[in-house]
Structure 1
Amino acid sequence: MKKILFIFVLAFCILSCGKKGCESLQSKYESQPEAVKEIRTADFALKDVLTTANSSSIKRIEYYSCDGNQGYLIVYNLSGDVKLHRDVPVSIWEGLKSSEFMRNYYNDNIKDEYPY
């Protein structure tokens, strides 16, 4: 009986202690690193990550979306800077991924258009 109870409690904890849904994310955080950490650990309908070997200044880009229409964009620069953008349409994400010059696309279409 104790084994069954233990298994039940363990299963309940695994199911309820898992990732938070993306709907539960706050609209504001104390810091950008805190926001990035929360976003990266939440459960999203769409998650896409690209390591950018062909970019002269962007090391990695990540896109997270609850609804597949708009979401969070995280840009990691070679210099170590991390930029977070909110409400970025999936079409802009797709444009960034397929852009020949990612830094130019980022500067022209994302940098000042979608602040966090």
Structure 2
Amino acid sequence: MKIIIYILSTFCLLGCNSKNCNEIPLNFKTYEQAVTEVENSTFKFKEETTKSSSWIEDANYYSCDMKTGFLIIETSSQKYIHKDVPIRVWQEFNNSTSLGKYYNRNIKNRFQLYLEK
């Protein structure tokens, strides 16, 4: 029985309600909608940081083309989403000695996702 559940879970991870990253809308009404769309889509490249900081609990990077992508930063109170983050910036962030310092100096206010009006 456990094997069947595992197989079904795997199939759903690969296809149930999952969109191809090229199908993600260009505009969002809320940041929560953007995060949900990104997290529930299939990407060519997805990576999670193995580090944390005093205020960054988790960080995930999603890319369709291995050039730019979405970066989602999770804190204890909310998630922040950034758009068009170059993969090089993700790699530098992920390899930095301080995620928070790198984020504040190189990502914050530079790769903003704007909501539709």
Give the structure-2-normalised TM-score.
Answer: 0.79
Matches of 2:29 and 2:97 in 1, distance apart? 35
Is the CA contact 1:63–1:73 (under 8 Å) kept in the aligned structure 2? Answer: yes
Q: Who wins on radius of gyration, i.e. which is larger?
A: 1
Is the CA contact 1:51–1:59 (under 8 Å) kept in the aligned structure 2? Answer: no
Is the CA contact 1:60–1:76 (under 8 Å) kept in the aligned structure 2? Answer: yes
Give the structure-1-normalised TM-score.
Answer: 0.80
Cα distance change, pair 17–101 in 1 and its aligned pair in 2 (3 A): closer
> How many aligned residue pairs are there?
101
Matches of 1:93 and 1:17 in 2, distance apart? 28
**Which stretches of structure 1, 4 residues or more, deviate above 3 A after TM superposition?**
14-18
Matches of 1:96 and 1:76 in 2, distance apart? 14
Q: Does 1:44 align with 2:9?
A: no
The equivalences for 1:1-116 within 5 A come to 18-53=17-52, 55-78=53-76, 80-116=77-113
Runs of at least 5 residues in structure 1 that lack an aligned partner in the other structure: 1-13
Runs of at least 5 residues in structure 2 that lack an aligned partner in the other structure: 1-11
Helix, strand or coil at the partner of 1:115: coil
